Amino acid sequence: MSEAVMYSGAKEALGKEGLIEDWSRDKQVFGVPWGKAMMWVFLLSDTFIFSCFLVGYMSVRMATTDPWPNPSEVFALEAFGYPVPLLLIAIMTFILITSSGTMALAVNMGYRKNRKATFWLMLATAILGASFVGMQIFEWSKLIEEGVRPWGNPFGAAQFGSSFFMITGFHGMHVTAGVIYLLVVAFRVKNGFYENRPDGYKIVEITGLYWHFVDLVWVFIFAFFYLW
């Protein structure tokens, strides 16, 4: 007697068919659209990836006996004749926060079915995201010019470069993907693609989840890599 019959009392398929039947049973756990649940699961896995990078960075920074370069000096920029610590990083942080705000408003406008406002807010979010990536490219070029490499740099422990390029590079890749994602959804909103869909403008909220996550990761990178 199969276990499936024992538990449910009904006659059920076994083997491969039984597997499919069990896993597609359609008993809903999460009262949200499937896209939203899946985005959350994806973001959870992404959380682990970024955590591994940051924990790896912590490990090499703790284990090295060489002095760690002072991020406050390495990332300083000259303004008005003085080196201002972390100037560009601070500007990038504020740009990302601004884009998070426009995204949150876009989600709200989407639910109000205000297509025009949703489109423009999402476009603004994408432009802010693109400018963030632009500044990151500037930051990378500056550091590479000064001799920072994944295998060494003149300012201290070699592990600084490898952590920096790995962590900010992976984050920058997420921002770039987010900009593309935002543009695709924004133009679909504009063209009325979601007008008669069962889940309507919930896609805007799902896109927003991804974008806010990118901002969330930056909060941790800013604290652990640049400030600590």
Partner 1 sequence: MSDDGTQHPLKIYYIMWIGLFVLSMFSYATDFMADGALRTFLILLFMFIKAGGIIWIFMHMGWERWALKIAILGPPVAILVLIGLMALESDYIEGSRIENYGESTMEVVSPEHH
> x/- contact string, 77-116, with partner 1 (CB under 8 A)?
xx----x-xx---x--xx--x--xx-xxx-xx--xx----
Applying CB under 8 A, among 19, 44, 144, 173 the residue interacting with partner 1 is 44
Applying CB under 8 A, among 4, 64, 127, 170 the residue interacting with partner 1 is 64
With helix as H, strand as E and coil as C, how does the chain read? CCHHHHHHCCCCCCHHHHHHHHHCCCCCCCCCCHHHHHHHHHHHHHHHHHHHHHHHHHHHHHHCCCCCCCHHHHCCEEECCEEECCHHHHHHHHHHHHHHHHHHHHHHHHHCCCHHHHHHHHHHHHHHHHHHHHHHHHHHHHHHHCCCECCEECCECCHHHHHHHHHHHHHHHHHHHHHHHHHHHHHHHHCCCCCCCCCCCHHHHHHHHHHHHHHHHHHHHHHHHHHC
Applying CB under 8 A, among 18, 40, 169, 184 the residue interacting with partner 1 is 40
Beta carbon of residue 8, minimum distance to partner 1 (angstroms, whole number): 23
Name the residues that contact partner 1, by CB under 8 A: 29-32, 37, 40-41, 43-44, 47-48, 51-52, 55, 58-67, 69, 72-74, 76-78, 83, 85-86, 90, 93-94, 97, 100-101, 103-105, 107-108, 111-112, 146, 154-157, 202, 205, 208-209, 212-213, 215-216, 219-220, 222-223, 227-228
